[in-house]
Amino acid sequence: MVLAFHARSATNDIDADVYPPEKVLEAADVVAGQLGLPRGWLNNDAKIFLPLTSTIRWAPVFHLDSLEVVAADEPTMLAMKLRASRGRRDEGDIEFLVKRLGLSTEDQIVELYDSYFPEDPLSARARQIIRSVVKHHT
How far apart CA 19 and CA 5 sit, in angstroms, is 23
The span from the CA of 55 to the CA of 76, in Å, is 9
Give the model's pLDDT for residue 138. Answer: 61
CB hemisphere CA count around 77 (13 angstroms)? 26
pLDDT number for residue 51: 87
How much is the pLDDT for 103? Answer: 97
DSSP 37: P
Residue 50 is classified by DSSP as: S
**CB neighbour list of residue 117: distance below 8 Å, 6 or more residues apart:** 51, 53, 79, 83
pTM here is 0.85
Q: How many CB atoms lie within 10 A of CB 71?
A: 19
Q: Are 43 and 13 in contact (CB under 8 A)?
A: yes
- Predicted confidence at residue 87, as pLDDT, reads 77
- Give how far Cα 7 sits from Cα of 43, 61, 90, 92, 103, Å: 20, 14, 11, 9, 17
Rounded CA separation 89/92 (Å):
5
Q: How far apart are CA 36 and CA 14, in angstroms?
A: 15
Mean pLDDT by 10 residues, the chain (138 residues): 70 83 94 93 85 82 89 93 87 94 97 95 96 87
Rounded CA separation 135/105 (Å): 9
